């Protein structure tokens, strides 16, 4: 909490070059890029960082193969290059993974047609990944016995990428990089609207924790509020060339369905791609695509039934999946950028996730529409160029503001980890060695964890039952990760609440100690707040099911 309090004091004290509103993937990458290149940046979010769309994705980093069918080859080429760049820049986090796609008889194309498309897709990605394969039904069954192939006419295998950790953690690491570069950032700070005063923007904000209000002054204002970009532009009097339409998507987290680390892809009953995605000891299945009018959405019984029906039709499981198997859910909206007058129902399912940046040069205001995780580095670089055109100096234009620490630092960490036999402390049932996980999550800060464990072996003990998280990680999290509410840690800095049933979390003997570490004398209040919210959310979901 000290990091947040220090930054709250700084926000009203200076004139920033840029204020970024919104800490999802667009805002986080923009803040990291700008501050890395020397601009004075402030970043706020009305909730937690990555607290909306950016924590509800499929965890896939892909080149947009589905846009091949609609002929948007320029976008596919751009996204494939972005995917490749992320794999090279974040080798511990963004990793190539095989997609096994099954085509059933009666599908609109023979399997050879989309298989040929995967070769074009591979070539558009510069042959960076493994080559595609055509598969007969028996080949599919041999590779993945749980797939139901009675009605399959064939399929294919190709490569894309996925996030080994969760999406919100990936986004937060951009926020953490921005903090390291000097950005003054704070979560749970809501913009109430902005106005021009002379050459500056004055943004009135409210601290949603204690209710206090103050103003932040900046030369440039960037609206990266995700699904709420249009609403904030109304508050600030901005008229833009784009607007958002919304698609709701849900995923269900269930026990691990297969030991193989690959994505199983199908075409759902509505014709959209439908995935079975590995998530450590769990499996993520989905997604839906429902047009909605508002970014405030929730899961309905219809959504759950759709996902379960589709997966049970396509897999040969010992027992069909039921609602009792659901450990957690993900539900959010995709904000899709359209021009006014476009985005009608006829073309809705073909709308892409490409981003658009609208710039008002006269008032020095940027609005970022759309976007996806795959394209985040492009967003950061494009925002820097637009801000420079508005007269803001970025004195270090060649600085690389993204990516993992270099191989030599990684080897230093791994060598120290080997010398202290760190991997023998890996939790039972963990999906990877402890050294690999700590490096991926914390980079050079993982060296601090090694020192803490050397001085006090208790820091290497798993603290919360049923998870992999160490006592020492909680202390590092308190110091560096601006955890303000318990959900910030359980859902976004980690993925505990996605993969551990709530009743296990609630009764874990280590949970109270974790809260003591994170929140000090506010520990009980944060515990009560978290479980009151989960109880309320459960009641709201049940009511939604009755009404749907």
Looking at residue 264, which CATH number applies to its domain? 3.30.9.10
- Residue 465 domain-assigned (yes or no): yes
- Residue-range definition of the domain harbouring residue 504: 407-543
Site of tokens 């990428």: 161
User: Per-residue pLDDT for 547 more than 80?
Assistant: no
Nearest Cα to Cα of residue 171 among 159, 187, 155, 157: 187
What pLDDT, on the 0 to 100 scale, is given for residue 460? 95
My answer on whether 189 and 160 are in the same domain is no
My answer on whether 463 and 370 are in the same domain is no
Q: Average the pLDDT over each of 9-23, 67-81, 208-222, 469-483 and give the range with the smallest value.
A: 67-81
Please, which pLDDT band fits residue 330 given cuts at 50, 70 and 90? very high
My answer on whether 204 and 190 are in the same domain is yes
- Residue 395 domain-assigned (yes or no): no
User: Per-residue pLDDT for 546 more than 50?
Assistant: no
CA atoms within 13 A on the CB side of 231: 15
- Residue 548 domain-assigned (yes or no): no
User: Per-residue pLDDT for 537 more than 80?
Assistant: no
- Residue 306 domain-assigned (yes or no): yes
My answer on whether 97 and 222 are in the same domain is no
My answer on whether 301 and 210 are in the same domain is no
My answer on whether 231 and 174 are in the same domain is yes
- Residue 358 domain-assigned (yes or no): yes
My answer on whether 310 and 363 are in the same domain is no
Render pLDDT for 359-394 as a digit per residue (tens, 0 to 9). Answer: 999 999 999 999 999 999 999 999 999 999 999 999
User: What is the Cα–Cα distance from 430 to 418, expressed in whole angstroms?
Assistant: 18
**Percent of the chain scored above 70 by pLDDT?**
95
What pLDDT, on the 0 to 100 scale, is given for residue 428? 83
My answer on whether 34 and 143 are in the same domain is no
Nearest Cα to Cα of residue 286 among 298, 299, 273: 273
Over residues 224-251, mean pLDDT: 96
What pLDDT, on the 0 to 100 scale, is given for residue 476? 96
CA atoms within 13 A on the CB side of 17: 21
User: Comparing 136 with 268, which gets the higher pLDDT?
Assistant: 136
Structure tokens at 359: 């710039």
Render pLDDT for 396-432 as a digit per residue (tens, 0 to 9). Answer: 999 999 999 999 999 999 999 999 999 999 988 888 8
What pLDDT, on the 0 to 100 scale, is given for residue 543? 37
My answer on whether 188 and 300 are in the same domain is no
What pLDDT, on the 0 to 100 scale, is given for residue 545? 45
Neighbours of 59 (CB within 10 A): 23
What pLDDT, on the 0 to 100 scale, is given for residue 64? 85
My answer on whether 138 and 234 are in the same domain is no
Give the global pTM: 0.94
- Residue 344 domain-assigned (yes or no): no
User: Per-residue pLDDT for 178 more than 70?
Assistant: yes
Mean pLDDT of the chain: 93
Q: How many domains does the chain have?
A: 3
Note whether 129 and 159 are within 8 A (CB): yes
At 235, which CATH number?
Answer: 3.50.50.60
My answer on whether 313 and 366 are in the same domain is no
Contacts with 40 (C-beta within 8 Å, 6 or more apart), sequence order: 14, 16, 17, 18, 182
User: What is the Cα–Cα distance from 521 to 525, expressed in whole angstroms?
Assistant: 9
Rg (CA), the chain: 23
What pLDDT, on the 0 to 100 scale, is given for residue 1? 73
Structure tokens at 334: 């995709």
User: Per-residue pLDDT for 63 more than 60?
Assistant: yes
- Residue 296 domain-assigned (yes or no): yes
My answer on whether 289 and 274 are in the same domain is yes
Over residues 65-75, mean pLDDT: 87
- Residue 307 domain-assigned (yes or no): yes
Q: Average the pLDDT over each of 11-20, 166-175, 227-236, 537-546 and give the range with the smallest value.
A: 537-546
Classify burial at 225, counting beta carbons within 10 Å of its beta carbon; exposed 0-12, middle 13-18, buried 19 or more. buried
Nearest Cα to Cα of residue 416 among 462, 461, 459, 447: 447
User: Per-residue pLDDT for 538 more than 80?
Assistant: no
């Amino acid at each position: 909490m000290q990091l947040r309090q220090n930054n709250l004091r700084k926000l009203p004290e200076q004139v920033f070059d840029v204020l970024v509103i919104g800490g999802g993937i667009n805002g986080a990458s923009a803040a990291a890029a700008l501050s890395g290149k020397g601009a004075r940046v402030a970043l706020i979010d009305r909730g937690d960082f990555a607290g909306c769309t950016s924590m509800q994705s499929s965890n896939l980093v892909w080149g947009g193969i589905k846009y091949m069918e609609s002929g948007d080859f320029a976008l596919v080429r751009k996204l494939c290059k972005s995917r490749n760049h992320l794999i090279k820049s974040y080798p511990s986090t963004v990793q190539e993974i095989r997609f096994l796609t099954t085509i059933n008889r009666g599908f609109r194309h023979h399997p050879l047609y989309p298989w040929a498309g995967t070769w074009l897709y591979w070539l558009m990605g510069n042959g960076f990944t493994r080559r595609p394969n055509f598969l007969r039904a028996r080949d599919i069954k041999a590779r993945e016995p749980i797939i139901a192939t009675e009605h399959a006419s064939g399929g294919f295998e190709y490569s894309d990428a996925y996030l080994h950790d969760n999406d919100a953690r990936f986004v937060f690491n951009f926020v953490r990089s921005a903090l390291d570069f000097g950005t003054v950032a704070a979560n749970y700070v809501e913009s109430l609207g902005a106005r021009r005063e002379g050459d500056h923007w004055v943004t009135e904000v409210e601290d949603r924790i204690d209710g206090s209000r103050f103003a932040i002054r900046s030369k440039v204002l960037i609206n990266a509020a995700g699904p709420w970009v249009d609403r904030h532009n109304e508050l600030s009097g901005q008229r833009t060339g784009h607007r958002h339409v919304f698609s709701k998507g849900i995923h269900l987290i269930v026990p691990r369905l297969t030991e193989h680390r690959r994505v199983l892809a199908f075409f759902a009953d509505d014709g959209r791609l439908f995935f079975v995605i590995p998530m450590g000891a769990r499996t993520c299945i989905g997604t839906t695509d429902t047009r909605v009018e508002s970014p405030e959405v929730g899961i309905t019984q219809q959504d759950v039934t759709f996902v379960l029906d589709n997966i049970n039709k396509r897999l040969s499981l010992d027992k069909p999946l039921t609602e009792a198997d659901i450990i957690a859910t993900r539900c959010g909206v995709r904000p899709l950028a359209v021009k006014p007058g476009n985005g009608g129902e006829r073309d809705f399912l073909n709308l892409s996730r490409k981003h658009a940046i609208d710039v008002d040069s006269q008032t020095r205001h940027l609005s970022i529409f759309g976007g996806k995780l795959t394209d985040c580095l492009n967003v950061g670089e494009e925002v820097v160029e637009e801000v420079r055109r508005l007269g803001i100096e970025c004195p270090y234009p060649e600085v690389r503001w993204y990516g993992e620490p270099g191989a030599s630092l990684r080897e230093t960490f791994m060598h120290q980890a080997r010398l202290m036999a760190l991997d023998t402390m890996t939790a039972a049932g963990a999906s990877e060695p402890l050294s690999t996980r700590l490096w991926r999550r914390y980079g050079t800060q993982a060296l601090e964890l090694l020192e803490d464990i050397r001085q006090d072996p208790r820091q290497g003990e798993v603290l919360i039952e049923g998870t992999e998280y160490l006592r020492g990680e909680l202390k590092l999290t308190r110091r560096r990760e601006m955890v303000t509410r318990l959900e910030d840690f359980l859902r976004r800095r980690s993925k505990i609440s996605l993969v551990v049933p709530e009743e296990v979390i609630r009764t874990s003997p280590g949970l109270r100690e974790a809260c003591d570490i994170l929140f000090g004398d506010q520990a009980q209040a944060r515990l009560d707040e978290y479980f009151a919210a989960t109880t309320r959310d459960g009641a709201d979901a049940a009511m939604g099911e009755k009404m749907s």
